Amino acid sequence: MLRYTLKRLISLLISLMVASVVIFMVIEVAPGDPASFMLGVNAQEDTLVALRAELGLDVPKVQRYFNWVSGMLVGDFGTSYTYRTPVSQMIADRLWVSLPLALYALALSTLIAFPAGIYAAARRGKPGDLTVMGATQLGIAVPNFWFAMMLVLIFAINLRWFNAGGFAGWENGLWTGLHSLTLPAIALALPQAAILARVMRSSLLDILGEDFMRTARAKGVSRRQALWRHGVRNALIPVLTIIGLQFSFLLAGSIIIEKVFYLPGLGRLVFQAISARDLIVVESVVMLLVFAVITVNFLVDLAYAAVDPRLRSRT
């Protein structure tokens, strides 16, 4: 297990190095000068030169890359061109919204998908299975932003159970914060739950057809016991893959939901930074999200090895 973990850790570090180079190159070659954008088209050249020097844009790109990477290693993401505040502080403020939202949505997705997928697999071809599959197909087809607007219309405007948007803040209490994130979390969770339920059902049906499951049944184990004792655990490998990918998506791809609910999260921060040509913010947030994606995949690989020890001997 240690050897397997070390190999995956080396792969993670290499992936992060390559990602940092790609992110920096792609964003830096984007058209537009941050200094010109901030001062306007009528700015004097000497003023532009002074601002570029203040922002550190007058040094070679290679030096800027190494300054950026070395700063990130010690938690210094630089200073925002637009807001003139530390990028690390801006990210931290918004991470306290995006991370709980992603975890909340993932928890809801998993709590919905696991029972639904197992129920459908246990009743293959029966009305219960067809109902679950129909519901998941609908969940995949409906765009989450449309669903988010329907949630606002029903539960915020008509029933007035929730606020239509905004985030109350964790300083007002855990329940208040979770209450603010409930509708966005549901809007994010249901489409992901539909995908996860279908994967769980498909994986479990494959396992139920394996020889060891038939052997367990021949030894007198009931279908229900075989399903829970042997089937569910062995069906988890593809499900863990989807859960890892879903967490990465929920953390990095919730910009539309954040816009619908006016949440001050990372997605909205990136959108605002791109609009303002605040390159250092864009680079840092994207790198942070890439780090989260790669780290989650690393943890999923370790979970694979824990669930299926055969994977350790293949590497």
- Which pLDDT belongs to residue 244? 80
- Which pLDDT belongs to residue 40? 67
- The list of the chain residues with pLDDT below 50 reads none
CA 133, CA 194: separation in Å to the nearest integer?
A: 9
Q: What is the DSSP string of 173-204?
A: -HHHHHHHHHHHHHHHHHHHHHHHHHHHHHHH
120 CB-near residues (< 8 Å, 6+ apart): 128, 129, 132, 133, 197, 201
Closest CA to 229 of 118, 146, 154: 118
Q: ∠ CA(177), CA(273), CA(257), 5° rounding?
A: 40
pTM assigned to the model: 0.80
CATH code of domain 87-311: 1.10.3720.10
Q: ∠ CA(131), CA(135), CA(140), 5° rounding?
A: 150
Which residue is it, tokens 């498909």?
A: 202
Which residue is it, tokens 């992110």?
A: 23
